[in-house]
Amino acid sequence: MILLKIIIQQEDNPLRGIGGILLKFFLSIVGIIFIGGLPVLLSGIGHRELRLQAYWQSIKEIVSALFHPGDLTYVIIGGQRERDLFPYLWEPITYSLLVLFSAFLLASSLSILLTILTMLFSQKNRDRIKFIFYLFESVPDVLVILLSQLFVLSLYKQTGILFFEIASVGNERAFLLPVFVLAILPTVQLFRISILSFETEERKDYVTLARSIGLGKLVILTFHILRNAVISVFFQSKKTIWFMLSNLFVLELIFNISGITRFLMSTLQPKMFTIAVLSIFIPLFVFYTVGVIVLSKKANKGEEI
């Protein structure tokens, strides 16, 4: 998963920028392929040997599988019957990505809203609010998931209404509660990042100028500081995405969600593992690449009064 952390930087020259993006994408794919075959290479480490020939053969099988995905079959750990990989894999991929991006969008929106509200307070009260959020960031993610399920069950016991599905059973899928739970700790993380960005922007000259011409605090925050701060928050949100990915497996396990991370744990075949990792990497790569291009065009426009 380390290769998923590649940061895309858009260069001034559009052609060089596109070329750089394509090169990074290609190198990332190659890196993921080589990592996918590592279990084969290291399988003989107990006998103090690296199985280079078997590793190279595994790499060739992975490359062949990428060009002929429709021919792939897989067997889950402990299973006996082979299954076609596609179209089966599309469902867990889309479901996991939908949960992930929905939670990220919710966390981003809530963190920005909370930041703007916090910035309206005095510095003393801001510090108190930030301290509370910093404490909450240390809460274990598993505890958050379990408490959320207990809370929904408690509401159901009191009202007789099940507001959210607390687990996926058969055709009934849990969606809203997993999205909400997955967004809780990332909201705290993004709040910490965004409040620092807002406070940095607040000390700049264009904010002083805006105040001198009589613009209100809320107007300055939403129409000027926000434009610049959100760019910094977006670039730093990559760490939050990796945090959410690590929590996604726990979430899918507890909520009984048949997602892509559970599929990763259900098969040790290098071909299947590589394809599953690529199914996560490619959407994230596209998301951040497009985000960099769009936000780079808007950089510093918040300083216009």
pLDDT digits (tens, 9 = 90+) for 175-227: 888 899 899 989 999 999 999 999 998 888 888 888 888 888 888 888 888 88
- Domain 90-267, CATH number (from 1.10.3720.10, 3.40.309.10, 2.40.10.480, 3.40.640.10): 1.10.3720.10
pLDDT, tens digit (0-9, with 9 covering 90-100), for 65-83: 888 877 777 766 555 567 7
What does pLDDT average to over the chain?
Answer: 81
Average pLDDT (132-144) is: 82
**Whole-angstrom distance, CA of residue 197 vs CA of residue 225:** 9
Phi-psi label, residue 82: left if phi above 0, alpha if psi -120 to 50, beta otherwise: beta
Average pLDDT (62-67) is: 88
For residue 291, count other CB atoms closer than 10 A to its CB.
15
Classify residue 159 as exposed, middle or buried by CB count within 10 Å of its CB (0-12, 13-18, 19+): exposed
pLDDT at 16: 54
For residue 126, count other CB atoms closer than 10 A to its CB.
16
